[in-house]
């Protein structure tokens, strides 16, 4: 085979794979935004066929031979193509071990699960979702065995979301966090508490939607390529770098829920929109990993938007849209209310100090579910017990407990730890960024361009060209170090609570 022909075949293959991805993501996006509630049967049928076609297109011997041929000529290839082959060979080896009928059955199961989860959540009844979740857990364990038979199942799943992450590395990370955050939380709880009741003042949803548009402007989200929708659980989906959709959820009595969701999802969107053009339609044209993705969304949400300079800048806009709520609020009180720490039931409403504890609960439960030492039937009870132990809160029902997140319905075992890792990466990025630019001077003016330009240069544009650990070294000059995160939290919250 001629090398040039093989390279062309490789590019065509990736473009076709991307077309399947696009179609399937669009069907998923429709299912959670516009589709009527009882439409999952037909959708499951279509998704089954598309996933089968995609599996056949990629997980076959000819593709294996093509990749092996190209890998043997690696020295003659450009950097990007060589990197594509590295990733594709890995994916090919994993997917080839998954029998096509199981792959299709799994796709259908996940389609059904999404609907079941939402019904169970609305009825606050775990029993509706339990049989489906049992099948997903069993499937996930089986897939883990196909992906990396030499690894423990949960390690194999963790590696899907954050390359190199293992139970050993995460146990160490979380125990470091626990050792620092639980005493910090105790000191905060012993300090005079902040009145944050202003956060619950009723805010008409029509005006919250105007605020969403304003926030998207502040973040320079180009509306030609980025749109916002509404879903039960906010998320971002990228069809390609010129078509990114974010979603939010509006609550009349919780303006900041949507505000922070929009900024969080906007952070994910900017990552995708800023990926280099030449990576489009290849396996590298997306974020480096889930944790790096969360580092971007959580950077904008927590480090930028939960800062005094940003809230001081935002206050006049809040006064304009909700004069009845904010006319008599000063910036310092708004900031203190927004960052006030309160152990609570809901992850996505959690403050920065208790958030990692919400993740820790999920990490420990996943580890045991996939490891086989916890049954799905016992999951709600264990969830409630750990919330009591780590956060000191009593879980009143499944809706606000074990059913609150969509991730397990999506089969995403191994994803949750990436939120805590992402937060920690973000703090290290901030330290490096502050050496280069005046982060707070710009933020105080509502100018997020310098921050975005820095992230684009160091992270966004590279897509998956580098593995997460290498990307961190290139962006910050040193390997990942969770001390940056711990110091960031300690310094910020010691000042807020005058500890």
Stretch that binds Zn ion, among 178-186, 292-300, 401-409, 458-466 (CB under 5 A): 292-300
In whole angstroms, how close is the CB of 268 to Zn ion at the nearest point? Answer: 6
Across the beta sheet with 243-248, the strand order is: 226-230, 243-248, 236-240
Neighbours of 1 (CB within 10 A): 11
In whole angstroms, how close is the CB of 296 to Zn ion at the nearest point? Answer: 9
Nearer to Zn ion, 14 or 297 (CB): 297
- Using the rule CB under 5 A, is 196 a contact of Zn ion? no
In whole angstroms, how close is the CB of 340 to Zn ion at the nearest point? Answer: 22
In whole angstroms, how close is the CB of 93 to Zn ion at the nearest point? Answer: 29
- Verify whether residue 366 is a known catalytic residue: no
Nearer to Zn ion, 55 or 268 (CB): 268
Exactly one of 297, 404, 466, 476 binds Zn ion (CB under 5 A); that residue is 297
Distance between first and last Cα of the chain = 69
Stretch that binds Zn ion, among 99-107, 247-255, 294-302, 320-328 (CB under 5 A): 294-302
CB 355 within 8 A of CB 294: no
Stretch that binds Zn ion, among 26-34, 77-85, 189-197, 291-299 (CB under 5 A): 291-299
Nearer to Zn ion, 58 or 161 (CB): 161
- List, in order, residues 6 or more apart from 66 with CB less than 8 Å away: 6, 9, 10, 13
Cα–Cα nearest to 358, from 399, 401, 396: 401
Number of residues that bind Zn ion (CB under 5 A): 1
Cα–Cα nearest to 446, from 215, 213, 218, 278: 218
Nearer to Zn ion, 81 or 404 (CB): 404
Nearer to Zn ion, 58 or 425 (CB): 425
Chain centroid to CA 320: how far?
Answer: 32
Nearer to Zn ion, 248 or 297 (CB): 297
Comparing every residue's Cβ against Zn ion, the nearest one is 297
Cα–Cα nearest to 122, from 363, 434, 403: 403
In whole angstroms, how close is the CB of 114 to Zn ion at the nearest point? Answer: 18
Instruction: Please tell me the distance from the alpha carbon of residue 31 to that of residue 21, in angstroms, as a whole number.
Output: 15
Length of the chain: 499
In whole angstroms, how close is the CB of 33 to Zn ion at the nearest point? Answer: 17
Nearer to Zn ion, 51 or 297 (CB): 297
Nearer to Zn ion, 322 or 425 (CB): 425
Q: Which residue has the tokens 């966004």?
A: 460
In whole angstroms, how close is the CB of 191 to Zn ion at the nearest point? Answer: 30
Stretch that binds Zn ion, among 133-141, 297-305, 335-343, 387-395 (CB under 5 A): 297-305
Stretch that binds Zn ion, among 296-304, 440-448, 450-458, 478-486 (CB under 5 A): 296-304
Nearer to Zn ion, 21 or 260 (CB): 260
Q: Which phi and psi (to 5°) does residue 248 adopt? A: -140, 175
In whole angstroms, how close is the CB of 90 to Zn ion at the nearest point? Answer: 24
CB 19 within 8 A of CB 280: no
In whole angstroms, how close is the CB of 69 to Zn ion at the nearest point? Answer: 38
CB 326 within 8 A of CB 319: yes
The active-site residue, picked from 84, 180, 265, 349, is: 265
Cα–Cα nearest to 20, from 44, 43, 50: 50
Stretch that binds Zn ion, among 68-76, 177-185, 290-298, 334-342 (CB under 5 A): 290-298
Q: What are the angstrom distances between the C-alpha of 288 and each of 171, 225, 339, 412, 460?
A: 23, 21, 30, 17, 9
Chain centroid to CA 375: how far?
Answer: 26
Known catalytic residues are: 265
Which residues contribute to the site for Zn ion (CB under 5 A)? 297
């Amino acid at each position: 085979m001629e090398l040039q022909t093989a390279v062309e075949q490789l590019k065509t293959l990736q473009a076709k794979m991307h077309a399947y991805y696009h179609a399937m993501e669009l069907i998923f996006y429709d299912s959670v935004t516009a589709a009527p509630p009882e439409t999952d049967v037909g959708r499951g049928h279509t998704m089954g066929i598309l996933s089968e076609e995609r599996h056949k297109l990629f997980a076959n011997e000819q593709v294996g031979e093509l990749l092996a041929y190209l890998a043997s000529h690696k020295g003659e290839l450009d950097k990007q193509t060589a990197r594509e082959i590295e990733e594709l060979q890995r994916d090919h080896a994993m997917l080839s071990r998954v029998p096509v009928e199981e792959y299709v059955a799994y796709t259908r199961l996940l389609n059904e699960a999404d609907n079941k989860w939402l019904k169970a959540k609305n009825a606050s009844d775990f029993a509706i979702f339990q049989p489906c979740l049992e099948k997903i857990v069993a499937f996930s364990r089986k897939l883990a065995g196909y992906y990396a038979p030499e690894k423990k199942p949960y390690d194999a799943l963790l590696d899907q979301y954050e390359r190199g992450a293992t139970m050993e590395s995460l146990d160490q990370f979380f125990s470091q966090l626990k050792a620092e955050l639980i005493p910090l939380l105790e000191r905060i709880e012993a300090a005079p508490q902040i009145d944050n009741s202003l956060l619950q003042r009723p805010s008409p949803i029509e005006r919250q939607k105007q605020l969403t548009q304003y926030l998207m402007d502040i973040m320079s989200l180009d509306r030609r390529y980025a749109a916002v929708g509404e879903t039960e659980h906010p998320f971002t989906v990228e069809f390609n770098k010129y078509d990114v959709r974010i979603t939010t959820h509006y609550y009349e009595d919780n303006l900041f829920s949507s505000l922070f969701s929009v900024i969080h999802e906007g952070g994910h969107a900017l990552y995708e929109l800023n990926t280099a053009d030449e990576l489009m339609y290849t396996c590298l044209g997306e974020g480096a990993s889930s944790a790096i993705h969360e580092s971007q969304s959580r950077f904008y949400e927590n480090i930028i938007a939960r800062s005094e300079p940003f809230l001081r800048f935002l206050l006049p806009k809040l006064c304009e849209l909700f004069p009845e709520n904010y006319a008599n609020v000063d910036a310092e009180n708004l900031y203190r209310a927004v960052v006030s720490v309160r152990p609570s039931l809901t992850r996505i409403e959690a403050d920065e100090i208790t958030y990692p504890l919400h993740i820790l609960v999920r990490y420990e439960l996943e580890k045991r579910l996939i490891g086989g030492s916890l049954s799905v039937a016992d999951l709600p009870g264990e969830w409630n017990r750990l919330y009591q132990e780590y956060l000191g809160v009593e879980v009143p029902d499944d809706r606000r407990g074990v059913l609150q997140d969509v991730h397990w319905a999506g089969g995403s075992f191994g994803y949750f730890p990436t939120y805590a890792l992402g937060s920690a990466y973000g703090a290290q990025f901030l330290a490096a960024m502050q050496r280069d630019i005046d982060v707070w001077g710009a933020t105080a003016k509502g100018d997020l361009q310098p921050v975005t330009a820095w992230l684009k240069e160091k992270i966004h544009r590279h897509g998956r060209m580098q593995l997460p650990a290498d990307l961190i070294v290139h962006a910050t000059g040193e390997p990942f170090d969770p001390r940056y995160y711990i110091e960031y939290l300690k310094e910020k919250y010691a000042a807020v609570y005058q500890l």
